[in-house]
Structure 1
Amino acid sequence: MNNKLHGPLFLAILSTLMAFASLSTDIYLPAMPVMAKDLQGDAELTVTGFLIGFALAQLVWGPISDALGRRLPLFIGMVMFTIGSAGCALSTDIQQIVFWRVFQAFGACTGPMLARAMIRDSFTRTRAAQMLSTLLFIMAIAPIAGPLAGGQIIRVTSWHAVFWLLVVIGGLMFLSLFILPETLPPEKRVKVSLSGAFRNYFMLLSNREFMRYTLCLTFFYVAAYAFMTGSPFVYISFFGVDPQYFGWLFALNIVGVMVMSLLNRRLVLHYSLESLLKIAVGVAAFATLILALVVKMQVGGVVAVVVSIFMFFSMNGIIAANSTTAAMEAAPSMAGSASALIGSLQYGSGIVSSLLLAFFRDGTPWTMAWIMLVFAFASVVMLLYRAKSTSAGEAAHSGL
Structure 2
Amino acid sequence: MTYANTTSPDRTPWGLVVLLGALTAMGPLAIDMYLPSLPAIGEDLRATSGQTQGTVAAFLAGMAIGQFFYGPASDRFGRKPPILVGVLIFILASAGCALAASPEQLLAGRFVQALGACAGGVVSRAVVRDRFNHTETARMLSLLMLIMGLAPILAPLLGGALLTVGGWRLNFWFMAAFGLAIGAATMLRLQESRSEETTRQAQSESPLQAYAALLRQPRLVGYALAGALNGATLFTYISASPELLIETYGVPPSAFGWLFGLNAAGVIGANQVNRWLLRTRTPDQVLARASTVAVAFAVALALAAVTGIGERWSVLPLLFLLLASYGFMQGNTMAGALSVDPRRAGSISALLGGVSFGMGALASSLAGAFHDGTPRPMALVMLVALVGSAVALRKLALKPGPQV
> Does TM, normalized by the shorter one, top 0.5?
yes
Pairing of 1:214-293 with structure 2 (within 5 A): 214-293=224-303
Which residue number in structure 2 is paired with residue 340 of structure 1?
350
* Most deviating of 37-46 and 227-236: 37-46
The CA distance in 1 between the partners of 2:128 and 2:199, in whole Å, is: 16
Q: Distance in 2 between matches of 1:370 and 1:151?
A: 34
For normalisation by structure 2, the TM-score amounts to 0.85
Query: How far did 1:91 drift?
Result: 4.5
Looking at structure 2, the residues matched to 28 and 194 of structure 1 have their Cα atoms a distance apart, in angstroms, of: 43
Letter aligned with residue 118 of structure 2 = C
- Larger mean CA deviation between 51-60 and 285-294 belongs to 285-294
Relative to structure 2, which stretch is displaced further, 91-100 or 330-339? 91-100
2:15 corresponds to which of 9, 23, 37 = 9
Give the corresponding residue for 2:138: 129
Q: 1:18 aligns with which of 13, 17, 24?
A: 24
Aligned counterparts of 2:386 and 2:102: Cα–Cα separation in 1? 35
Identity of aligned residues (%): 33
- Of 111, 120, 126, the residue aligned with 1:102 is 111
- Counterparts of 2:167 and 2:382, CA distance in 1: 32
Q: Work out whether residues 221 and 396 of structure 2, in 8 Å CA contact, stay in contact via their aligned partners in 1.
A: no
Q: Of residues 185, 192, 207 in structure 2, which corresponds to 1:182?
A: 192
Counterpart check, 1:41 vs 2:53: no
- When residues 288 and 92 of structure 1 are mapped into structure 2, their CA distance, relative to the original with a 3 A threshold, is farther
Cα distance, 1:332 vs structure 2: 1.6
Q: What is the count of residue pairs matched by the alignment?
A: 391
Q: What is the Cα deviation at residue 174 of structure 1? A: 1.5
Work out whether 1:196 is the aligned partner of 2:231: no
Seen in structure 2, the aligned counterparts of structure 1 residues 289 and 359 have a Cα distance that, compared at 3 Å, is: same
Seen in structure 2, the aligned counterparts of structure 1 residues 246 and 224 have a Cα distance that, compared at 3 Å, is same
For the structure 1 residues 182 and 193, does the alpha-carbon distance in structure 2 shift closer, same or farther, using more than 3 Å as the test?
closer
Q: Match of 1:175, SS? A: helix
Q: Displacement of 1:22 after TM fit? A: 2.3
Q: Equivalents in 1 of 2:383, 2:394: separation in Å?
A: 17
Change (3 A) 1:307 1:30: farther
Paired with 1:58 and 1:194, the residues of 2 have a C-alpha distance of 21
Query: Please, which moves more after superposition, 58-67 or 152-161?
Result: 152-161
Show structure 2 runs of 5+ residues with no match. none
Partner secondary structure for residue 60 of structure 2: helix
Distance in 2 separating the partners of 1:331 and 1:58: 18
The structure-2 alpha-carbon separation of the partners of 1:146 and 1:235, relative to structure 1 and needing over 3 Å to count, comes to: farther
Conserved 8 A contact 1:83-1:167: yes
CA offset digits 1:197-255 (Å, max 9, x no partner): 11110111111000000100111122211112232333345444444433322221222
| Aligned-residue RMSD, C-alpha | 3.2
Question: Structure 1 residue 57: deviation in Å?
Answer: 1.3
Residues 55 and 348, structure 1, Cα contact 8 Å, conserved in 2: yes
**CA shift in 2, pair 1:91/1:238, >3 Å:** farther
Q: Is the 2:128–2:137 Cα contact (8 Å) retained in structure 1?
A: yes
What 5-or-longer segments of structure 1 have no aligned partner?
A: 394-400
What TM-score results when the alignment is normalised by the length of structure 1?
0.85
C-alpha displacement of 1:335: 0.8
Q: Which moved more, 1:311-320 or 1:91-100?
A: 91-100
Q: In 2, Cα distance between the equivalents of 1:273 and 1:141?
A: 23
Contact 2:210 2:347 in 1 (8 A): yes
Farther off after superposition, 336-345 or 244-253: 244-253
